[in-house]
Each structure stands twice: as C-alpha cells, then as structure tokens.
Amino acid sequence: MNGVLIDTSVWVSFFRGGNESIREEINRLLLENQVCICPPIYQEILQGVKDEFEFDRLRDLLDALIWLDIPYKDLAFRAANLFFSLRTKGISIRKSMDCQIAVFAIHFKVPIFEFDRDFELIQRGTDLKLYKP
C-alpha cells in the first residue's frame, strides 16, 4: 500500500502552524492523496477540538483520507503482543496507544510520520518504518 500514516503529534504541529517545511510536506502528501489515518489517530485529533465548527471541519478532512482499519479484537491483541514483545527486549513504551498506531503501520506496510520517541523505540524491535521528509 502507498501512503504515510501521520501521527497525532505531527497533525498538532500542522494545525498550530508549526514548522513551515513540515506544513509544506503534509500539504504535498494531502494533494497527492498519500495520507492515511487509523482509528486511534482519528480519535486523538477529534477529541482535542475546541468547538463544534472545528470538529465538523476536521471530521470532514479526516474522513477524506485513506482509512486503515483492523477489527478491534485483532488490534487489541496485536497491540498487547507488540507491547509485551518489546518489554521482553528491554524496550519500554510510555503510551499503549502508540502500540495500536504502530500495529496499523506495520500491518499495512506504511511509514509513520511522527514526532514521538515511542515510535523510534518501537522501530528498534519491529519492522516499523518511520517517514523522514
């Protein structure tokens, strides 16, 4: 599958008008229809919204992206297994939600565009690919 899974940490920077080169890269990926989304990122973005207008506007934007989906029971098992296997390798992940997000990226073979050190740790013990613009 083609595409890039953009983590919430990068979206927050984008929406707040952060780094110009990051904004340009996301806009390029959006124009080329290369941006993927998964349920945990969808939830994290929408739960951070301040008003109904922004909620509706962001929901419309996110709904137009490439949707990655895994049945919830499978996702829960894979994320728990990932967390456990990393811990047995001495790798501690701070946020279990990052294991869920990583499962989507690994399963669909798409890189994650991220600003979160948990993904760098997950990459050490898995086939996770990180996107570096």
Q: Give the tens place of pLDDT for each residue, 11-56.
A: 999 998 888 999 999 999 999 999 999 999 999 999 999 999 999 9
Average pLDDT over residues 99-124: 97
CB 68 within 8 A of CB 5: yes
Mean of per-residue pLDDT scores for the chain: 95
Report phi then psi at 3, rounded to 5.
135, 175
Distance of alpha carbon 2 from alpha carbon 5, whole angstroms: 10
Whether residue 1 has pLDDT greater than 80: no
122, pLDDT greater than 80: yes
Query: Does 107 have pLDDT greater than 80?
Result: yes
Q: How many CB atoms lie within 10 A of CB 66?
A: 17
Q: 0.75 exceeded by the pTM?
A: yes
